Amino acid sequence: MKDNGYYYAGQIMAMSIGHGGQSPCFLSGLLYDCLHKGPDNIKVTPEDIPDEDIKSKVMSVLQADTESQLQDAVMQAASLIGLAGHSVRITLANKQETAFDLAHWYVLQRTRAPFERYDVYTHTTVIVPWQRVTGS
């Protein structure tokens, strides 16, 4: 962030696309959709979490079948739940919503600053705003 790497990456990608060049093919599908549609318009699943330890904790919450299993899973994921700012009591009824919220936070919201820095350049061009309006 200090050396404006995300800003310059956005600048290079936008200039390439704007001048008829290739779109970036090295990005994951999720990251490309996030840059194209915006992080708030993307559905993230627990399977999208790249860190295996974090994914395992979120999946434990999601796969809990009993109240006892759920409470054990919540205890194991307590630091993640706290960092995500999730303050709702987790029950068997809302465990799926909780798991998807944690996945969304881990994959997209905790890295919000780089997305915003990338958008500083791309929002000033015609390409990305045009794509968001037309859905192209």
For residue 47, give the DSSP letter. Answer: G
Clarify whether residues 56 and 104 are in a common domain: yes
Clarify whether residues 50 and 39 are in a common domain: no
C-beta neighbour count of 1 within 10 angstroms? 9
Clarify whether residues 121 and 97 are in a common domain: no
Give alpha helix (H) positions in the chain. Answer: 5-18, 29-37, 52-63, 67-76, 78-83, 95-104, 112-122, 127-134
For residue 27, give its domain range: 5-43+112-134
Domain count, the chain: 2
Of 92, 93, 91, 110, the C-alpha closest to 44 is: 110
pLDDT tens for the chain, residues 1 to 136: 567 777 777 778 777 766 777 767 777 788 778 777 777 888 999 999 999 999 999 999 999 999 999 999 999 999 999 999 999 999 999 999 999 999 999 998 877 766 666 665 555 554 455 455 555 5
According to the model, what pLDDT value does residue 126 have? 43
Q: For residues 82 and 73, is the Cβ–Cβ distance under 8 A?
A: no
Residues in the chain: 136
What values do phi and psi take at 6, rounded to 5?
-70, -35
Clarify whether residues 17 and 38 are in a common domain: yes
